[in-house]
Amino acid sequence: MLANLSDTFLAGATAKSLGASQLFLASWWDELWWGGKTGQSNFAAGTDAVFFYIFWVSVAFFALLMFLMVLWAFQYRRKAGTHAPVSNSHNTKLEIAWTVIPTILLGVMFVWGFKEYARQLVAPIDSEEIQVTASQWAWEWVYPNGATTLETEVIADATAPVFALPVGRPVKFIMSSTDVIHSMFFSAFRIKRDVFPNRYTVMWVEPQELTHRVLADANGKYIKLEPIDPANPGHYLTCTEYCGDQHSQMWARIVLLSPTDYEMWKAAQASTDDIDLKTLGEMLYATKGCNACHSVDGSAKTGPTWKGSWGTQRTFDDGTSAEMDINYVRQSILEPAAHIVDGFPNQMVSYQGRLTDREIRAISVFLKTLSSSKDDQQKAQEESDAEIAAKKAAAAAGGGE
């Protein structure tokens, strides 16, 4: 019976199907609750319906109880010279009413809410799996083809990664944390799940409604993402578990693509061979979360600044020192606890298996460009250009055979 009631409430609460992406109570009401974003996933309609059912039941009882409290406070207030009336010891009908009615309403909340929760537990067998790593204070997604995003966007004065998802296809997130507890929340999709260290949690969704398209050249090569509606730049991914002082800057942008565009975008993110080392290093600085702890303008953060650091002597907390060169950079990335710069905490996680040798080299080239030495900057540019030239020469030689 309660299951049927929940289906009835769901049908009444949803004005149109999710395909139309319009729920009841849109416009200013939707703006109030969801920042103007109607639900854009397979879970949104049901989640919103349960949410608003609980909300309106709460509002109705709050209004009723507050009205009766104020009314009876005046009606039965003490009056001089008048004895207080004797209260009835009990009223069977009233007691039954205030027991049965809330029980039914709460039963609907439980059954309906559990049904919606249960839908989110088991992902379809054909779901695409994306590996998610959360760390202070960044998100990293690894797609099935090994790609990680190379695209970024400035959100609230912080550089954040841009991730893509396909419309109309289920996607499963397998999530873990490298440090503390985080929580991955997509407000437009109405889904959220905590992310823990030393274990995996799982969440899935099927996005609805395109936000972007892929622009390609005449040869079908990926160029960039373009919003379908300039007023809709995509959706937000946020962390909703306080995880440290930059918790509020742990953003990411989510764009929704057609399956064809999504595959093209993934392929473009997986191939970095055509990106010069200097540019790739700058991209990795933002997309791998280096910018969360290391500045490039000389300002102090959780870790030492990268500006002007190349070629300098680093003094460690054990009294030893070393010059920042390619070997130092490599060891710091793969074994960050090996040497701790004096005055900074030992809290960087290892990027072993998360960066290739070429990517580590790209970061070192980017560090050179931040050097105060013009010679270092020139060498970085030459190293970056030389690698691309060598690849072009190898490709030309291979094509001529």
Q: CB neighbours (10 Å) of residue 340?
A: 17
26-84, pLDDT tens digit by residue? 455 566 665 555 568 888 888 888 988 999 999 999 999 999 999 988 888 877 777 77
196 pLDDT more than 90: yes
Residue 25's pLDDT is 42
Residue 280's pLDDT is 82
Residue 392's pLDDT is 67
**Could you tell me the pLDDT band of residue 329, with boundaries at 50, 70 and 90?**
confident
Residue % of the chain over a pLDDT of 90: 27
Residue 15's pLDDT is 34
Residue 101's pLDDT is 92
Residues 177 and 240: beta-carbon distance below 8 Å: no
CB contact burial 67-95 (16+ within 10 A = b; e otherwise): eeeeeeeeeeeeeeeeeeeeeeeeeeeee
167 pLDDT more than 50: yes
**CATH number 1.10.760.10 is the correct assignment for the domain at 277-400:** yes
22 pLDDT more than 60: no
Could you tell me the fold of the domain covering 128-268? Immunoglobulin-like (2.60.40)
Q: Give whichever of 85-94, 187-196, 302-311, 389-398 has the largest mean pLDDT.
A: 187-196
Residue 391's pLDDT is 67
User: What are the residue boundaries of the structural domains of the chain, listed by start?
Assistant: 2-76+89-119, 128-268, 277-400
**Could you tell me the pLDDT band of residue 293, with boundaries at 50, 70 and 90?**
confident
Residue 26's pLDDT is 45
CA gap 5, 384 in Å, rounded? 65
Q: How far is CA 54 from CA 36, 113, 348, in A?
A: 21, 10, 43
Q: How far is CA 264 from CA 214, 216, 220, 252, in A?
A: 8, 9, 9, 20
> Quick one: tokens of 106?
């709460």
> End-to-end alpha-carbon separation of the chain, Å?
75
Average pLDDT over residues 171-177: 94
The residue type found at 365 is V
CA gap 109, 50 in Å, rounded? 7
> Picking from 26-30, 99-103, 225-229, which range would have the lowest pLDDT averaged per residue?
26-30
Backbone region of residue 21 per phi and psi (left: phi > 0; alpha: psi in -120 to 50; beta: other values): left
- Alpha carbon 245 to its chain's center: 17
Specify the pTM: 0.71
Give the chain's mean pLDDT: 81
